[in-house]
Amino acid sequence: MMKTTLQHNFYTLDSGLRLVVIPMPATKTATVFVLVGTGSKYENKNINGISHFLEHMMFKGTTKRPGTMDIARELDSIGAEYNAFTGKEYTGYYAKASAEKLDTSLDVVFDIFLNSKFDEKEIAIEKGVIVEEINMYKDLPQRHVGDLFEQLLYGDQPAGWSIAGEKETVVSFKRDQFVDYFNTHYVAENTIVAIAGNVNPEEVKKKVQNYFKSIRHGKSIGKPAVQEEQDRPKQLINFKETDQSHFILGFRSFDMFDEKRYALSVLAKILGGGMASRLFYEVRERRGLAYYVSAGTSLYTDSGSFSVSAGVNNEKALEAIKVILAEVNKIKNQGITEKELQRAKDNAEGSMALGLEHSDGVAMNYADSVLFHNKVLTPDEELAKIKKVTLEDVNGVAKEIFDPKTLNLALIGPFKDEKVFQDILTI
């Protein structure tokens, strides 16, 4: 079996902050990554979108670097790649640069995390930026259909709301709401720092300890438990004059702590995980119905889904959905083969090897496991669990989740008659 050969050092610092350092002597880069255990599922209706807005504000100036350009110029001057992202259950900030510039990366990333100003003028300007970001996403059907699918699954609760929020809410935010959210969610106990690359773990530990001496403290704020109720197939058809119909067809599945997730990931690879998958062959190669078609999983702390995504000719949308449902039904009733199982395992091993070549991918992988499991789950350990998946495991999971009662279809396209889709949602 592949060995990552990556050692790691995991520390819980005096402040309560958790730090994982992964030395990668063969690379010339180092990534500084900070992950916070908060996202849109931790919001209420009045502040939906604040996690994402706050992420934007973290690049708008600190006491040491007063303006946006002070931060950008410093990172650009060392050739760094840097960005941030917000999910439903986490928010992350990172900078990747030459390992020789580690001190600069540390100083800038930690400065924005600890000392952002949330200037009122900058907040007012950024409202316009985020409204345009929301408009952009709604103009990208391939992206927007994902929001509609989660809205269909979870409805009017934080899990079903958009990460970016609604425009009306975003423009209403006041500075004190950012300060309050920042002080209560961005605390040591809820923060992971991961540093991967050509670094010395003990030196890194000392530096991180020094930076975070005065980090905020507080109990991690919980989120409401996801409510799930469904007893029949559901659909959400969004009428839009598009040249192509984009849809996600999916089922409710398991959360990220369920051991069946490994069999589920194998199932996703076999059904729609690449050019040799069943759906790619049947939908694209054999019938020419789509340019892209793929299967995947979305696993959260207390819910999950298995879905198929595709972009198809408008006139062929019904046919494509029928073909996908037929392939789902075939796996449910007839199962997979030993050859398919082995190919999926080999694919997982190869993908993991590629992901471990870059310091940013490694830092994010390790931080993610610490945030959600409070321990490092190494790629070797994850791969070992995938390798243990049996034919019976995959076939059992397929029979369990491919249930017509938990089938959901979100679609964007020029369709006004929803009943035509309702009539074919069966397996």
**List of domains in the chain:** 9-214 (3.30.830.10), 234-422 (3.30.830.10)
Measured CA angle at 139 (ends 133, 140), to 5 deg: 95
State residue 269 phi and psi, 5-degree precision. -65, -40
What is the pLDDT at residue 220? 76
Q: State mean pLDDT over 41-52.
A: 97
Q: State mean pLDDT over 255-263.
A: 98
What is the pLDDT at residue 221? 85
Q: Using CA atoms, how far apart are residues 84 and 101, in angstroms rounded to an integer?
A: 19
pLDDT tens across 169-206, in order? 999 999 999 999 999 999 999 999 999 999 999 999 99
Q: State mean pLDDT over 46-67.
A: 96
Distance of CA 201 to the CA centre of its chain: 28
What is the pLDDT at residue 4? 52
H helical segments located in 273-405? 278-279, 317-334, 338-355, 359-373, 379-387, 391-401
Are 267 and 350 spatial neighbours (Cβ–Cβ below 8 Å)?
Answer: no
Q: State mean pLDDT over 4-10.
A: 82
What is the pLDDT at residue 214? 84
Residue partners of 212: CB distance under 8 A and separation at least 6: 13, 15, 17, 110, 114, 188, 193
Q: Is the pLDDT of residue 1 over 80?
A: no
Q: The tokens of 6 are what? A: 């990556």
pLDDT tens across 262-283, in order? 999 999 999 999 999 999 999 9
What is the pLDDT at residue 401? 98
**What's the one-letter identity of residue 337?**
T
Q: Is the pLDDT of residue 365 over 90?
A: yes
Instruction: Identify the weakest region by mean pLDDT among 2-6, 167-171, 350-354, 359-363.
Output: 2-6
pLDDT > 70 fraction of the chain, expressed in percent and rounded? 99
Torsion of CA 132, 135, 136, 141, to 10 degrees: 170
**Average model confidence (pLDDT) across the chain:** 96
Q: Is the pLDDT of residue 233 over 90?
A: yes
Residue appearing with tokens 């005096």 = 14
What is the pLDDT at residue 197? 98
Give me the sign of the Cα torsion angle 55, 23, 5, 259.
Answer: negative
Q: State mean pLDDT over 156-178.
A: 98
Instruction: Identify the weakest region by mean pLDDT among 99-103, 149-153, 416-420.
Output: 416-420
Residue appearing with tokens 């009539």 = 423
Strands (E) across 100-153 are located at: none
CA-wise closest residue to 215 among 238, 240, 192: 192
CA-wise closest residue to 300 among 248, 223, 210, 189: 223
In this prediction the pTM is: 0.95
Q: Is the pLDDT of residue 3 over 80?
A: no
What is the pLDDT at residue 245? 97
What is the pLDDT at residue 219? 83
Residue 399 — very low, low, confident or very high, per pLDDT cuts 50/70/90?
Answer: very high
State the DSSP H helix or E strand holding residue 54, giving kind and residue range, or none if neither. helix 50-57
**What's the one-letter identity of residue 70?**
D
What is the pLDDT at residue 6? 83
What is the pLDDT at residue 209? 95
- Residues annotated catalytic, as ranges: 55
What is the pLDDT at residue 8? 95
Residue 418 — very low, low, confident or very high, per pLDDT cuts 50/70/90?
Answer: confident
Q: The tokens of 198 are what? A: 């050509």
Q: The tokens of 147 are what? A: 């929001």
